[in-house]
Amino acid sequence: MSAYSVPAGEEEPPAPPFESSALEDDAGRARWIPELLLGVPMSAPADVVRSARRRLQRLHHPDRPTGNAEASRLINAAADILLEHRAAYEEWLCSEGVALQLVRASVVAPSPLFSLADEQTRATLAKLLDQCVDRETRMTHQQQLHSQTIRDLQRATSQAERRLRRANEAARDFRHQLAEATLQLGQQQEANDALQAQLAVVQGRLEEQTAVALAGQLAELRASEHAAAVRAARAEAAAEAAARAEAAAEAATARSEAAEMVAAARAEAAAEAATVRSEAAAMVAAARAEAATARSEAAAMVAAARAEAAEMVAAARAEAAAARDGATGAAADAAPPTLVRQCLEAIGESRINSVIRRKAVYLLGRFYK
């Protein structure tokens, strides 16, 4: 178990708050840089910092022959800062003048734990010094910006104060004008009240006169409306009489035109009926002639078919007799009895059609050549 690890079963005690006094000398001046004491960069992970602390403590711990209590304290303080207070240390390092003070102290009175002849130490100091210069430059620029902003704010404040004074003066003038306008408005209101009273009296008189005049005009209007209604009724009666006469004339004309149209329609219908009857008679006669012709042709075809069937039956019977008497051919060359029976039955029942003809032609061509 390492001397700097927490025993099993125990919790690690909380880290003490960050204090820069661990890096100061007896006079309270910052003199040591933690990453230079441990020989690690600022961004080194925790395991690298612990490894550096163990390596240095093996050389400078008071229990060692080459031990140095002050060096051991500085090593522990530097490791604690980088392990537990790195963010606070970086923030403190960014404070005004701190980083530059650390660099100057390391150069003027270097620690026995590192040498300025070491290239890595010089590179770290140079980098830190560049950061200090950059921070100082940025801070100076920010201060200039803050000063300019303060001047702008002061200028804007003075302008706002001037505008506020002008606004207050305008408000006082407005209040004075408002008081004068209120006084004038009161006087005008009194005059308006007097005029309203006079107007009410005049309006009452006018209403009475207007009512009398309207009553006379209403009587005249009613009389004129009555006369106009009488004249309109007479005109409507005359118009109705003229309309009746005109309607009677139109009715007579319409009746005569309808009679003429009926007579013409009847004559035309009679002519069309006669024409249709003659055409129907001609068509009936032609149909009867065509039917007679068709019946004669059908009778001829039936007679021919019967004669042909009789010949086929006679031939088939003769051939069948000859076949029964001297047939010695193979069974494969004999006519099918079912097909022959169908043909003979059709001939006996006078059912000669295209199917029977095809079967008979097949039998004659295949088995009775």
pLDDT tens digits for range 23-67: 776 666 666 788 878 888 878 899 999 999 999 899 888 888 878
The domain tally of the chain equals 2
For residue 15, what pLDDT is reported? Answer: 59
Beta bridge partners of 157: none
Q: According to the model, what pLDDT value does residue 53 have?
A: 92
Last residue of a domain, one of 97, 127, 158: 158
For residue 69, give Cα distances in angstroms to 29, 62, 181: 20, 5, 93
* Model pTM above 0.75: no
Written as one string, the DSSP assignment of 143-180 is HHHHHHHHHHHHHHHHHHHHHHHHHHHHHHHHHHHHHH
pLDDT at site 205: 84
Range of 137's domain?
A: 20-158
Q: What is the pLDDT of residue 329?
A: 45
Asked, for residue 116, whether it belongs to a domain, the answer is: yes
Judge whether 115 lies within some domain: yes
Rounded (5°) CA angle 216-217-221: 120
Other CB atoms closer than 10 Å to residue 215's CB: what's the count? 9
User: pLDDT value at position 49?
Assistant: 92
Residue 152: inside a domain, yes or no? yes
Q: Is residue 198 part of a domain?
A: no
Q: What pLDDT, on a 0 to 100 scale, did the predictor assign at position 197?
A: 87
Q: Is residue 328 part of a domain?
A: no
Query: According to the model, what pLDDT value does residue 332 have?
Result: 46
Q: Is residue 308 situated within a structural domain? A: no
Q: Which of 106, 49, 111, 44 is closest to 80 using CA atoms?
A: 49
Residue 139 makes CB contacts below 8 A (sequence gap 6+) with: 96
In a domain, 78, yes or no: yes
The CATH number given to whatever domain includes residue 40 is 1.10.287.110
**Token pair belonging to 311:** 């010949």
Burial status of residue 167 (CB atoms within 10 A of its CB: 0-12, 13-18, 19 or more): exposed
Domain boundary among 127, 158, 189: 158
pLDDT lower than 70: segments of the chain: 1-16, 20, 25-31, 96-101, 104-122, 125-126, 128-133, 135-136, 294, 298, 302, 305, 308-311, 313-316, 318-335, 369
Task: Please check whether residue 166 lies inside any domain of the structure.
Answer: no
Task: Check residue 330 and report its DSSP letter.
Answer: -
Which of 129, 158, 187 terminates a domain? The answer is: 158
Helix (H) / strand (E) containing 276: helix 119-326
Whether the Cβ atoms of residue 18 and residue 92 lie closer than 8 Å to each other: yes
